[in-house]
């Protein structure tokens, strides 16, 4: 565990050192190059901002509207019959929408049900295996200004759903 942790901490520093030294070796003006690249970064973020704004406003509004309680009611019976703790419903609903909110919800589940409870375990796996899909879509599509996304969004939504079901199934089978 510690070795893996150490390696993942070392990756970025070693990578940056290697890139800079390689550049110097190839007689590249490293500093000017870095600044030029960073300047491109500003343009990219300005391009992404309106997409981020649109998605963040919609997601926050959706959370505030009480839609989560409605969905909770819908899934309650189903999960109870599968013997899955109901505490995992909020994390399954929040994780695809918001990264920072899901960390808060996850901490809350661990606090109220205990760190070794089945609910905590299932939530942990959902946290690690699902992604904040709409944020990723807004950033990546916004960065290149794609408007026609063909069948990408339905594929992502179906996969999100499958990911959460798989997370529950894996924990149920392994433990």
Partner 1 sequence: MNTVWVLLIVSSVILSILNGRVGEFTKAIFEGAKSAVEVSLFLLGIVALWLGITKIIEESGLIHRLSRGFRIFVSRLFPHVPRDHPALTSITLNLLANLFGLGNAATPLGIKAMQDLQSFNPDKDTITFEMMLFIVINTASIQLIPFTVIGILADFGAKNPAVVVLPTLLATVLSAAFAVGTLFVFRKVFK
Residue 14 binds partner 1 (CB under 8 A): no
> How many other C-beta atoms can be found within 10 angstroms of the C-beta atom of residue 119?
19
Residue 160 binds partner 1 (CB under 8 A): yes
- The residue count for binding partner 1 (CB under 8 A) is 98
> Whole-angstrom Cα distance, residue 131 to residue 135?
9
Burial of 164 (0-12, 13-18, 19+ CB in 10 A): buried
Residue 6 binds partner 1 (CB under 8 A): no
> Whole-angstrom Cα distance, residue 126 to residue 88?
9
**Closer residue to partner 1 (CB): 78 or 174:** 174
Residue 145 binds partner 1 (CB under 8 A): yes
Query: Given candidates 87, 90, 105, 120, which one binds partner 1 under the rule CB under 8 A?
Result: 120
Residue 42 binds partner 1 (CB under 8 A): yes
Phi, psi dihedrals of residue 62, rounded to the nearest 5°: -60, -40
Sites for partner 1 among residues 43-72 (CB under 8 A): 44-45, 48-49, 52-67, 69-70
């Amino acid at each position: 565990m510690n070795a893996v942790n150490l390696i993942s901490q070392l990756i970025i520093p070693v990578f940056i050192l290697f890139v800079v030294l390689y550049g110097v070796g190839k007689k590249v003006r490293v500093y000017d190059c870095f600044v030029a690249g960073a300047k491109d970064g500003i343009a990219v973020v300005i391009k992404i901002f309106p997409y981020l704004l649109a998605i963040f406003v919609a997601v926050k509004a959706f959370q505030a509207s009480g839609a989560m309680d409605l969905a909770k009611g819908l899934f309650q019976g189903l999960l109870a019959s599968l013997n899955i703790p109901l505490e995992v419903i909020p994390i399954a609903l929040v994780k695809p929408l918001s990264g920072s909110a899901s960390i808060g919800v996850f901490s809350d589940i661990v606090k109220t049900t205990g760190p070794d409870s089945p609910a905590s375990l299932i939530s942990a796996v959902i946290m690690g295996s699902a992604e904040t899909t709409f944020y990723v879509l807004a950033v990546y599509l916004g960065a290149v200004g794609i408007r026609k996304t063909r069948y990408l969004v339905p594929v992502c939504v179906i996969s999100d759903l499958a990911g959460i079901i798989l997370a529950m199934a894996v924990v149920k089978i392994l433990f």
